Amino acid sequence: QEIKEKIDKYNTKVTNCLLMKLNEDGTYTGFIKVHLKLRRPVTVPAGIRPQSIYDALKEVNLADMTAKRTSFYLPLDAIKQLHISSTTTVSEVIQGLLKKFMVVDNPQKFALFKEVRQDGQVLFQKLPLTECPLYLRLLAGPDTNLLSFVLKENETGEVEWDAFSIPELQNFLMILDKEEKDKIQQVQKKYEKFKQRLQQTL
């Protein structure tokens, strides 16, 4: 009864039709949004088409269809919406996200954080693998300004570069080289504009 009251209260505040639903067995389902804020590249199968609805229904794992791997950076502003149950754990959420993006890296490399805004400050707290995110969403309400979920690297120390293959490491070097060139161009443009303003002033 207490959960039902909380769900009814939650649904009155929902503005995007993403309601929570109570099941007969006492569990409930709903939606959470996860922001992907990964600073390091992820490993995915090379040359694999995006997952189709047919693949999802048949639970086809496209990552198993090729042994070739490549690495790239996920956009920092990427957001994924997940439909989960009240029994879905943080560990299952992480695995589900990696599967949706076809990331083949070890799930232990990642962690789910809750982001809370208090007194103008943004606070991050790493969630235990056994925590149930939907329950936290229910308690906080649907407003993502009060509580949001973020997937980040599991900071357990320095990166174990020995765990990566030679092609992956070479790909990292190519990415870093491109980033370095982009940064150099940005700095050059910045000072070129500054130089032009000084010349105009003189």
* 8 Å CB contact between 132 and 149: no
Least confident of 29-33, 77-81, 191-195: 77-81
CB atoms within 10 A of CB 172: 16
Residue 111 confidence (pLDDT): 92
What does the alpha-carbon distance between residue 49 and residue 183 come to, in Å, rounded to a whole number?
A: 31
User: 28-36 and 21-22 as β-strands: parallel, antiparallel, unpaired?
Assistant: antiparallel
Which residues partner with 45 through β-bridges?
69
pLDDT at 71 over 80: no
CB contact burial 42-79 (16+ within 10 A = b; e otherwise): bbbbeeeeebeeeeeeeeeebbeeeeebebeebeeeee
* 8 Å CB contact between 127 and 89: no
Determine phi and psi for 39, rounding to 5 degrees: -90, -15
pLDDT class for 105, splitting at 50, 70, 90? confident
What does the alpha-carbon distance between residue 133 and residue 93 come to, in Å, rounded to a whole number?
A: 8
Residue 132 confidence (pLDDT): 95
pLDDT class for 158, splitting at 50, 70, 90? low
* 8 Å CB contact between 42 and 71: yes
Average pLDDT for 121-133: 91
* 8 Å CB contact between 70 and 185: no
On average, the pLDDT of the chain sits at 83
pLDDT at 113 over 80: yes
What is the torsion angle, in degrees rounded to the nearest 10, for the CA atoms of residue 87, residue 89, residue 93 and residue 98? -130
pLDDT at 87 over 60: yes
Higher-scoring residue by pLDDT: 67, 157: 67
* 8 Å CB contact between 109 and 40: no
Higher-scoring residue by pLDDT: 138, 154: 138
Q: Which stretch, 66-70, 163-167, 171-175, 188-192, has highest mean pLDDT?
A: 188-192
Q: Is the whole model's pTM more than 0.75, yes or no?
A: no
pLDDT, tens digit, 9 for 90 and up, residues 1-60: 899 999 999 999 998 888 999 999 999 999 999 999 888 888 877 655 444 444 444 444
